[in-house]
Structure 1
Amino acid sequence: MASKKHAHSTGTPATVLLDRESVPYKVHIYFHAPSAGSYGLEAAELLGVEPGMVFKTLLVATGEAGAAALAVGIVPVDRSLDLKSMAAALGLKKVEMADPAAAERRTGYVRGGISPLGQRNPSRTVIDASAMEMGKIYVSGGHRGLEIELAPADLQRLTGALFAPIASR
């Protein structure tokens, strides 16, 4: 499943991190249509996998100062991030969706291609508990049209994330 040859062709911080840590993964590249309404649902359809296996990376503002001001929530693309559950997982009373420009600055990635891996400035991370039930999941590889398939436990280890029920229908 590991693919050093892919890292050279994709060259994102996410694939560089995976190679450096010798984590098994697969890269999936597809043509992203600018007219697509949902990056994640588009990825699931074009990869031919259930939407619940493809996870989106969302940033929230925590209201705290400094590096703790943003946190990452990783949820299936066919669900929404439950802000109350996310706050509770972080031990906070409230969080709100982060400004997209702040998310891009913080991660070094563009909206629709934000990977939970290899972020410029990593943040506290929570992965929806549904990922624990799967042998593999898909997350953005660092740009639109690039998905990385890997084990949820590897994603958790590399991001220092915790698993919690943070998604809602």
Structure 2
Amino acid sequence: MSKTTRATVALQQAGVSFTVHAYDYDPNAERIGLQAAEALGADPGQVLKPLMVLVDSRPACVILPSDREVNLKKLAAALGGKAAQMMKPADAERLTGYHVGGISPFGQKKRVPTVLEQSALEHAEVFMNGGQRGLQVKLAPREAAAVLDAKVAPVI
């Protein structure tokens, strides 16, 4: 497994301090984020999952703890929209350039509006997908929000 991905390159170019953590990815896991948390020995609230969504038919990314579900009404409101829905996996892969299970909010092919669930800021460091299945980056959530130009809002 390569530990250099578009995500890690984007973080390096932005001058963000992070560490890379590989784990055994289980393609059959019911919830990929929870499987990653278990494999890393981390609190599921500290392992964040990016979800690709459509808000009023426009693509966006929401990042939230792996053990929580997004409230689509709160997400739409956070981005000034009326309605939000999950993006189809094939569309998410095409838009981001990553495979489902390895979608990172960093280094996506097309930059989209991003919302970070505010509870992520309760942690000194969080894990986020590093752009490959079985690869996570660990970094300060405030730095992640800054480099993504993410809006921090309650979306769970």
| TM norm. shorter chain > 0.5 | yes
Deviation of 1:82 (Å): 0.7
**1:39/1:144 contact within 8 Å kept:** no
Pairing 1:1-169 to 2, within 5 Å after superposition: 9-64=2-57, 69-167=58-156
One-letter amino acid of the counterpart of residue 153, structure 2: A
RMSD: 1.3
Identify the structure with bigger relative contact order (alpha carbons < 8 Å, sequence gap 6+).
Answer: 2
Contact 1:140 1:148 in 2 (8 A): yes
Once the 2 structures are TM-superposed, how far is the Cα of residue 35 of structure 1 from its aligned partner?
2.3
**1:129 partner letter:** Q
Deviation at 1:160, TM superposition (A): 0.6
- Matched positions, count: 156
For 1:108, the aligned partner's letter is G
SS at match of 1:149: strand
Unpaired runs of 5+ in structure 2? none
Aligned amino acid, residue 84 of structure 1: K
- Cα distance in structure 1, aligned partners of 2:44 and 2:63: 13
Length-normalised TM-score, structure 1: 0.89
Percent identity among equivalent residues? 45
Structure whose alpha-carbon radius of gyration is higher? 1
> Is the contact between residue 71 and residue 123 of structure 1 (CA under 8 Å) also seen in structure 2?
yes
Alignment-mate amino acid for residue 19 of structure 1: Q
Residue 34 (structure 1) shift: 2.3
AA paired with 2:8?
A: T
CA distance in 1, matches of 2:75, 2:17: 28
Deviating 4+ runs (over 3 angstroms): none
Normalized per residue, the structure richer in helix is: 1
C-alpha distance in 1 between matches for 2:26 and 2:122: 31
